Amino acid sequence: MKAVKVILTILGVIVLFFGLVFLIGGRPVTGAVILASGGFMVVFGLRKPKTRDVVIKRELELTGDVNLESMKCTQCAGTLSSENVSVKAGTVFISCPYCHSEYQIEEAPKW
């Protein structure tokens, strides 16, 4: 993308030069059209792209006591780690790397 902008700017400068040649040579309408197109190329070649900084922050707050080191898969009893936890549509899911089952975490009440 950067190379295209450089080429467009160089080409715009060359076209501006030819527009000046046509203006000096006695063809004002043709020179004006060529100057306008060259200016258009230079402006778009030097224009900086619009950037938007998007930050997506997700926090998970659990009310109960959760110990990730002691979590086991309900299907195969494989040990799960924090890498197996994901949030999909606002719900916490666990995916087992051993049996590839996926289920929702249900939080037990503290009472």
pLDDT (tens, 9 = 90+) of the chain, 111 residues, equals: 688 888 889 999 999 999 999 888 888 899 899 999 999 999 888 888 778 888 887 776 766 666 555 678 888 888 887 788 888 877 888 888 888 888 887 766 666
Domain range summary for the chain, segments of one domain joined by +: 2-46, 68-104
Q: Could you give the strand order of the β-sheet that contains 91-95, starting from the edge strand earlier in sequence?
A: 85-88, 91-95, 102-104
H helical segments located in the chain: 2-24, 28-46
- The helix/strand/coil state of 93 is strand
> pTM for the whole thing?
0.43
Q: What does DSSP assign to residue 54?
A: -
Q: What does DSSP assign to residue 2?
A: H
